[in-house]
Structures are given as C-alpha cells and as structure tokens.
Amino acid sequence: MSYSELEETELIEQAKTDKEAFGELYTRYVDRIYSYVYYRTGDVAEAEDLTAKIFFRAMNHIPRYTDRGLPFSAWLYRIARNLVANWHRDRNRRRIISIDDITHWKVGQESPEIETQLLQDRDALLRVVRRLPAERQELLILKFVDRLSNSEVGNIMGRSEGAIKSLYHRTLLALREEFEKEAKQQSEERASLLDRLKNLANRNSSDEV
C-alpha cells in the first residue's frame, strides 16, 4: 500500500520515523498552509519561505506529536500561526489585505451583507477590512478563504468554539458598522463636491455679468 492510500492517523505514526511518509503529509496540506500564510503576509516570497519553515518545524516535532482527537491540520495551522506572528513582530508589521486577496473570498449566504458589498465595491470592503484588528482579519481569512468551521478556527486560534462564534458575530457587526460609516462619508463627500461645484458655477455666473 502506498502512503497516499493510508489513513491520516496511520500516516502520522509512520511519519514519526519515515521522511517519505511525512512527505505525503506535506503533499496533503502544503496548499492550505501556504494559502493561510500568504493571506496573512501578502507576500509570495515570504509566504513560500515561511511555509517551508513551518513544515521543517513540523517534521522536527512530529515524533512528539500526540493525537488528541483534533485534525492534524489544526496542529499545522498553530505552527503556522506562531511563525507568522513572529514574522509580523520581527518586522513590526500589520497584515494588509490586498484587493486581489478580496476577490478570492467566498462569503456566501452566511454573510449576505459582506457578499453584497464584495460584489458592489471591493475597494470599499477592502478599506473596511483593513481597519479591523489583525486578529479579526485573521478570523475572516480562516472563514472566507480557508472555509473553516468555528470549531476548526477555534483549534487554530486557541479559543473555544463558542468564543470564535462570538468573535465572528462581533466582527460581522463591526464590518456592518464600518460599511455604514463608509457610506455616510462617501455621501458627505459627494454633497461637499456638489456644493463646491455649485459655488464655482455661481461665481462664474457672477463674473460674466
């Protein structure tokens, strides 16, 4: 039987002493981990480098891996989360999501207001998301990009499923509030522009008299 045909639990046990078995784990999860890292860094080269470091660390630590009933991917995500956090701290950076990132979000019926905003004005959604704290940006990435459940997100972020559900709810409320502020600001800016144009037209009319 080839490694690709093994169940995950058996493959993990073999990977503790067999690098080829670990290579199969790498194949199964590298795309998901890379995607997570890329969306948290916004840099292809850095994402590739960090992904390599994540799996190198996982390979070194897998002999001590203990199955506690959680998906193996949750363990990998936690390693990724720690390394990405170190990356941000070392560079004193905050994750900045790009417009290209936004276009790949899959929101669906779970968050219809965000989906509507995504379809109508990606730039506005991007401005709103960028104002959120880094933790909430990460939550949106895990939910809208990786399509993870609240339980899976909780395993990665070290929180209970209930805590993630609450944080997700508050994040969606914050997004709606920011949307409303954005819309009000744009309306005020348009009104101000119209007033300036009207005043300019009146001055020009006066000059002609």
> Could you read off the pLDDT of 106-157 as tens digits, one per residue?
665 566 666 665 556 666 777 777 788 888 888 888 887 788 889 989 988 8
68 and 130 both lie in a single domain: no
Q: And the tokens for 29?
A: 């999860």
Residues 85 and 19 placed together within one structural domain of the fold: yes
Task: Determine the Cα–Cα distance for residues 138 and 108; give it in Å rounded to an integer.
Answer: 18
Instruction: Answer with the one of 58, 74, 93 that is the final residue of a domain.
Output: 93
How far, in Å, CA of 27 to CA of 2, rounded? 14
Return the CATH number at 44: 1.10.1740.10
Q: Taking a C-beta distance cutoff of 8 angstroms, is the pair 153, 142 a contact? A: yes
- Whether residues 3 and 15 fall in one domain: yes
69 in the same domain as 43: yes
Give the best-scoring range by mean pLDDT among 3-12, 163-172, 189-198.
163-172
Shared domain for 45 and 138, answered yes or no, is: no
Could you report the per-residue pLDDT of 184-202, keeping only the tens digit for each?
776 666 666 666 666 666 6
**Is residue 180 domain-shared with residue 110, that is, in the same domain?**
yes
CATH label of the domain that carries residue 116: 1.10.10.10
pLDDT of residue 77: 93
Q: What's residue 61's pLDDT?
A: 94
Same domain as 125, residue 56: no
On whether both 25 and 123 belong to a single domain, the answer is no
Give the HSE-up count for residue 128: Cα atoms under 13 Å, Cβ half-sphere: 26
The reported pTM is 0.64
Candidates 125, 67, 80, 74; CA nearest to 101 is 125
CA–CA dist 141, 39 (Å, integer): 7
Domain shared by 124 and 180, yes or no: yes
- State which of 65, 93, 121 marks the end of a domain: 93
- Same structural domain for residues 46 and 65? yes
Whether 79 and 114 map to the same domain: the answer is no
Residues 159, 109 within the same domain:
yes
Domain count, the chain: 2
What is the span of the domain harbouring residue 117? 97-209
Return the pLDDT at 96: 54
For residue 99, pLDDT over 60 is answered with: no
